[in-house]
């Protein structure tokens, strides 16, 4: 059977493939799924298995497709560290840009980096390091100092600079001949009370797509995927923004195997806007890392209570323990 488009979600625990035929009125054809196979060293094993499961669900022999695009949160997803000047200003703006792009933020610092911070960055081994700090034509020293320290680590990790634009040429010099690939983008906080996170979000996703093939089990992913690869939370955010154009204010809840993400898209009410101390982005995301329904299922059971959950599911406590 020939299908126009397959959309794969390569999750931390499960790989899901959805099939669509395109045209004036796109049509959903069906879905297949399989365990994600990062631990086997090749996510394509699980991807092929999910496509086979799709064929089985459609009662057909095999599937051919014109295009396969994907989202991924496998192999730890998009791990980032974020470093800015003032927590409620540049740091918050950089954090919102990273979360909106689909990142799993492992470490945040405000102000000048210390030796202990550098040790943590090396231990985390992030996929991307984001440096911000200073409004345009404002404070310069902190972002430049942090850039010099991170460049000194000489890590083979992409670095995005999204701080005071006056530092851009000096930051380029700092990272010249270093292992880190440097990306310069517009300031995420160009003026007091002004957010500019979209350029940084876009470059984060571009860098993720370029470097994802170096992740554990991801080396062969381009053997099958013909189109773009986005971080799964970033794809959910993009979908939420599209829905906002039709539905206006909304909240999207993405319940995954390892985490539960809450996305919101709203301009907010005038009443709330008047009392806000700092600006909020139109679209934002939070992550609840201990509320995944597979990896952390026991946390959910403990929060709800075994008795209450067994009652809701109409099963015995013994059956609940075996699940």
Domain boundary among the residues 200, 227, 254 is at: 227
pLDDT, residue 291, reads 64
Question: What length does the chain have?
Answer: 323
Asked if residue 174 and residue 154 are part of one domain, the reply reads: yes
Chain centroid offset of residue 24 CA? 31
CB 175 within 8 Å of CB 121: no
| pTM to 2 decimal places | 0.75
For 261, which DSSP code?
E
User: Would residue 129 count as lying in a domain?
Assistant: yes
- Beta-ladder partners of 128: 80
Q: CATH number of the domain that 161 lies in?
A: 3.40.50.360
R_g of the chain computed on alpha carbons: 22
Asked if residue 59 and residue 149 are part of one domain, the reply reads: no
Distance CA 85, CA 27 (A): 48
Strands 260-265 and 250-255: antiparallel
Asked if residue 93 and residue 25 are part of one domain, the reply reads: no
Assigned token pair, 34: 């399989």
User: Would residue 259 count as lying in a domain?
Assistant: no
Sequential pLDDT tens for the chain (323 residues): 899 999 999 988 889 999 999 988 899 999 999 999 988 888 899 999 999 999 999 999 889 999 999 998 876 678 899 999 999 888 989 988 888 887 888 899 999 999 999 999 999 999 999 999 999 999 999 999 999 999 999 999 999 999 999 999 999 999 999 999 999 999 999 999 888 998 998 999 888 888 776 677 777 888 888 888 888 888 898 999 999 999 999 999 988 776 788 889 998 887 777 777 677 888 888 776 666 666 667 777 877 888 888 888 888 888 877 76
Main-chain phi, psi angles of 275, to 5 degrees: -100, 0
Dihedral angle over CA of 265, 270, 274, 277, nearest 10: 0
User: Would residue 53 count as lying in a domain?
Assistant: yes
Asked if residue 169 and residue 117 are part of one domain, the reply reads: yes
Domain boundary among the residues 176, 211, 246 is at: 211
Asked if residue 221 and residue 125 are part of one domain, the reply reads: no
Asked if residue 114 and residue 60 are part of one domain, the reply reads: no
User: Would residue 20 count as lying in a domain?
Assistant: yes
Asked if residue 36 and residue 103 are part of one domain, the reply reads: no
pLDDT, residue 259, reads 74
Assigned token pair, 182: 């440097």
Nearest 5°: CA angle at 136, between 131 and 138? 95
Q: CATH number of the domain that 53 lies in?
A: 3.30.420.40
271, burial (CB in 10 Å: exposed 0-12, middle 13-18, buried 19+): exposed
Assigned token pair, 264: 């919101």
pLDDT, residue 323, reads 67
Beta-strand runs (E) in 36-110: 64-72, 78-84, 103-110
User: How many structural domains comprise the chain?
Assistant: 2
Range of the structural domain that residue 58 is part of? 2-74+215-227
User: Would residue 313 count as lying in a domain?
Assistant: no
pLDDT, residue 138, reads 95
User: Would residue 133 count as lying in a domain?
Assistant: yes
User: Would residue 265 count as lying in a domain?
Assistant: no
Asked if residue 167 and residue 70 are part of one domain, the reply reads: no
Asked if residue 150 and residue 219 are part of one domain, the reply reads: no
Domain boundary among the residues 227, 257, 288 is at: 227
User: Would residue 275 count as lying in a domain?
Assistant: no
Distance CA 109, CA 84 (A): 6
Asked if residue 83 and residue 207 are part of one domain, the reply reads: yes
pLDDT, residue 123, reads 95
Distance CA 207, CA 187 (A): 17
Asked if residue 87 and residue 149 are part of one domain, the reply reads: yes
Q: Which residue has the tokens 């090749």?
A: 42
Asked if residue 90 and residue 15 are part of one domain, the reply reads: no
Assigned token pair, 203: 């470059």
């Amino acid at each position: 059977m020939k299908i126009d488009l397959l959309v794969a979600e390569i999750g931390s625990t499960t790989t899901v493939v959805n099939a669509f035929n395109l045209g004036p009125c796109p049509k959903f054809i069906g879905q297949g799924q399989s365990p994600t196979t990062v631990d086997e060293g090749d996510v394509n094993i699980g991807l092929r298995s999910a496509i086979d499961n799709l064929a089985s669900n459609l009662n057909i022999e095999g599937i051919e497709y014109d295009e396969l695009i994907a989202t991924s949160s496998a192999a730890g997803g998009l791990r980032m560290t974020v470093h800015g000047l003032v927590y409620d200003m540049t740091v918050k703006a950089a954090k919102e840009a990273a979360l909106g792009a689909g990142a799993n933020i492992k470490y945040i610092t405000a102000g000048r980096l210390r030796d202990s911070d550098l040790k943590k960055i090396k231990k985390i081994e992030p996929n991307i390091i984001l440096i911000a700090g200073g409004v345009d034509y404002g404070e310069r020293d902190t972002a430049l100092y942090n850039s010099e320290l991170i460049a000194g680590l000489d890590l083979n990790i992409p670095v995005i600079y999204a701080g005071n634009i006056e530092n851009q040429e000096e930051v380029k010099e700092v990272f010249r001949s270093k292992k880190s690939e440097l990306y310069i983008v517009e300031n995420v906080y160009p003026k007091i009370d002004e957010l500019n996170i979209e350029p940084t979000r876009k470059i984060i996703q571009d860098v993720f797509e370029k470097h994802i093939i170096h992740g554990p089990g991801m080396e062969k992913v381009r053997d099958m995927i013909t189109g773009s690869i986005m971080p799964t939370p970033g794809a959910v955010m993009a979908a939420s923004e599209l829905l906002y154009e039709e539905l206006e204010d909304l909240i999207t809840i993405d319940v995954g195997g390892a985490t539960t993400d809450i996305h919101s898209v709203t301009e907010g009410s005038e009443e709330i806007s008047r009392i806000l101390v700092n600006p909020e982005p139109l679209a934002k995301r939070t992550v609840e890392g201990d509320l995944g329904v597979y990896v952390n299922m026991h946390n959910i059971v403990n929060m709800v209570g075994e008795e209450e959950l067994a009652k809701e599911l109409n099963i015995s406590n013994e059956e609940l323990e075996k699940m």
